[in-house]
Structure 1
């Protein structure tokens, strides 16, 4: 299954942590700051950034329908570009890909807002107000300098997403770090919210478990403890729970079912 297919199978869950994340992104966009967001793997940084930027709506136009197919009207309000750098790439290649994405997003925004037979303008204004760079820990100093130069020249907000420690690494580059206006820590969910998602919104994580399957409080508590509020672990554990129930023709999730599901997973830093 491709990453795009896997994402399509899961409906986004707007949590309290996501709402705090959107406030951080809004401020970086509004004040044109550089923001740094750090969090453990699996807590939801990437999927939250994609949802905020509507990237799952925009991405199918790269490159198959670029400049040919009219996008849905919701694209008209998009002002963010999402980018994940490859493991190894030159600063010029990174700049070129970001520029390509900015140009296409600007075209899509303009096309989505056009009505009837209105003509395509000779020059489409740049719509980029926020650039979100995922996996920023991959970036070498020359790539960071390239991003800083683009930020200075073009006046958009810039957000770097990465693992804990990214903010300390960036502090070694004063020309970039002096421009950082916000540092946001993306936390795992709390116990109550984790329990609510597992028991009431499991379908949004791509599994088909009936609400009555969660009547055993001990089993629910075990799932909350094992996942620790980590979205990726929640999804993986629930998928294995669903598999164990099906294999054993069971309807109720018990602590034994949860333990059997846990034993099939490699649970570390997700």
Structure 2
């Protein structure tokens, strides 16, 4: 997916938002309609196609691992999607598991460049600075409270991603809502940017987008209506 990713204005806005949340060690909300690109941007920011696959397939080490360690060090971010009807204890266990593995990757990189030496001391989960949680509507009030407590105790930056209205839902949880530092509305592509993306997708398929062709123009019109609906 990384090879086919097209950097749009909205992705740049998301990147600025995520960096601000991480830098300020606060909590942020990203909301937008289904299909606008929230999840893709979040996975891209966390380099999750590379780092996530690596930590999921935890196993024998190779010389290529150093590249993943360096990437994990640069982003220091995990991406997590809770299950439908999740148990709050399982959510925290899953997140801590990812923090431990990504933190270990960061630690390995720091050792490789000489910034850390000797026996590993301390909690490597603290090397993870940002947790991005997709499909945040699935979280129970108890899970939200546990995550808020994790933020308070460890100054862990958290981004919740969800559909429009999730920011209003969080108003019902004053302790969490009072800690929100940023709210980001991930908007649909405008017509010019939509054409920019489609032209490149057509090209990858070995075709040419011709707006003078009724079929192509009709397809573009349909896509525009779907992303702005």
TM-score after normalising by structure 1? 0.74
Distance in 1 (CA, whole Å) between partners of 2:38 and 2:92 is 23
Aligned equivalent of 2:94, options 89, 92, 97: 97
Residue segments in structure 2 that go unaligned for 5+ positions in a row: none
How many angstroms does 1:89 deviate by? 2.1
The residue that corresponds to 2:168 in the other structure is: 168
Deviates more, 1:27-36 or 1:113-122: 113-122
Distance in 2 (CA, whole Å) between partners of 1:120 and 1:104 is 19
Deviations 1:22-79 (A, max 9, x none): 1111110111111111111110000110000111111122333258453413333121
CA contact (8 A) 2:26 2:155 kept: no
How many angstroms does 1:159 deviate by? 0.5
How many angstroms does 1:115 deviate by? 3.0
Please identify the structure whose Cα radius of gyration is greater.
Answer: 1
CA contact (8 A) 1:130 1:159 kept: yes
Structure 2 residue 68 is the aligned partner of structure 1 residue 74: no
Deviations 1:150-189 (A, max 9, x none): 1111112110000111111111111111111111110110
Within 5 Å, which residues of 2 pair with 1:1-270? 7=1, 11-66=4-59, 68-69=61-62, 70-72=65-67, 73-115=70-112, 121-123=119-121, 125=124, 126-202=126-202, 208-211=205-208, 214=210, 216-228=212-224
Deviations 1:211-239 (A, max 9, x none): 3x536354443233211286xx7xxxxxx
Distance in 2 (CA, whole Å) between partners of 1:40 and 1:139 is 18
Root-mean-square deviation (Å): 2.6
CA contact (8 A) 1:32 1:157 kept: yes
CA contact (8 A) 1:67 1:107 kept: no
Change (3 A) 1:139 1:50: same
Q: Give the 3-state SS of the residue equivalent to 2:4 in structure 1.
A: coil
Distance in 2 (CA, whole Å) between partners of 1:196 and 1:12 is 13
Tell me the matched-pair count: 222
Q: Give the 3-state SS of the residue equivalent to 1:87 in structure 2.
A: coil
Deviates more, 1:81-90 or 1:104-113: 104-113
Change (3 A) 1:76 1:33: closer
Change (3 A) 1:209 1:229: farther
How many angstroms does 1:114 deviate by? 3.8
Distance in 2 (CA, whole Å) between partners of 1:63 and 1:195 is 36
How many angstroms does 1:120 deviate by? 6.7
Q: Give the 3-state SS of the residue equivalent to 1:188 in structure 2.
A: coil
Deviations 1:247-266 (A, max 9, x none): xxxxxxxxxxxxxxxxxxxx
Q: Of Structure 1 and Structure 2, which has the larger fraction of its residues in helix? A: 2
Greater RCO (CA < 8 Å, at least 6 residues apart): 2
